[in-house]
Amino acid sequence: MRMVKSPLEVEQMRRAIKITGEAHHACMRAGKHYRQEYQFEAEFEYTGKMQGVMHQAFGTIVAAGSHATCQHYIDNSGPIQDQDLVLLDGGATWNAYCADLTRTFPVSGTFSSIQRDLYEVVLASEKAGVEKVAPGVRMMDLHNHSAAILIDGLKQLGLMKGDTQELIESAAYKRIWPGALCHSLGLDVHDPLLPGYHKGDKALEPGMVITVEPGFYSQAFDPEIPEEFRQIGIRIEDDVLVTEDGYENLSVETVKEIADVEAMVQQGR
């Protein structure tokens, strides 16, 4: 009952997702003014409160610099340096239905060359995952498709070596991206799924809403990563409705292209 949403349920989620996207934009524009993670948390949740949001879907994640290499960092207590990326993962609720969006942006308003290269790889992986969503497609197929794009991009940057399919089968890439691409979204931010979906035994159906969220997380202690690529965390996440003939990206209005993200931050500067 909870996996497949009715039109009324989807409308509640559209509202939650729209407000969440506006909160992301508000934080991007506030980059000039804030140098503490908790300040972005306050800006994000304030934007929702001003539009009638009573509850967040989960504790807002604001992770700057190396903190972003922890996928579910929750302290939001660290300082933010001028050269840092900020990974912000949050979601408003509307009539009890959840949103869950992640964006990563440079507080300076401009990605460094290394940040740009890595962001482009994650973005290509994320867009590939979104575009493959359709009835009959399995979550595991979505995950592996996005993983292949991520791996190929990292190979071009010299951060991974070997056959892409073998790296997927051996899960060697999980030292850089240990998470899963998708989860169900609805009354909970991780809404229940019947057994078989995460393992790939069952396929998506029209009316399901899922996240698509690949990432890159390079640890300071990883000797296989060149030092200049370490301590960087990037995640991009959209909320996607499975339709009768494909998909609808419910968070399409929340900017994620490099030029658009930089422009949004620079508006505030």
Distance, in Å, from the CA atom of 151 to the CA atom of 153, rounded to the nearest integer, reads 5
Distance, in Å, from the CA atom of 119 to the CA atom of 52, rounded to the nearest integer, reads 33
pLDDT digits (tens, 9 = 90+) for 149-197: 999 999 999 999 999 999 999 999 999 999 999 999 999 999 999 988 8
- Establish if 111 belongs to a structural domain: yes
- Establish if 2 belongs to a structural domain: no
The fraction of the chain above a pLDDT of 90, given in percent, is: 95
Band (pLDDT 50/70/90 cuts) for residue 18 is very high
The predicted pLDDT at position 201 comes to 87
Average pLDDT, the chain: 97
CATH number of the domain within which 150 lies: 3.90.230.10
For 29-55, what is the mean pLDDT? 96
Residue positions counted in the chain? 269
For 201-210, what is the mean pLDDT? 96
- Establish if 1 belongs to a structural domain: no
Quote the number of domains for the chain.
Answer: 1
Distance set, CA 112 to CA 119, 211, 217, 264 (Å): 10, 28, 17, 16
Provide the whole-model pTM.
Answer: 0.98
Domain hosting residue 262, numbered range? 7-268
pLDDT digits (tens, 9 = 90+) for 218-256: 999 999 999 999 999 999 999 999 999 999 999 999 999
Structure tokens at 63: 């992770």
The predicted pLDDT at position 255 comes to 98
Structure tokens at 85: 């990326």
The predicted pLDDT at position 269 comes to 67
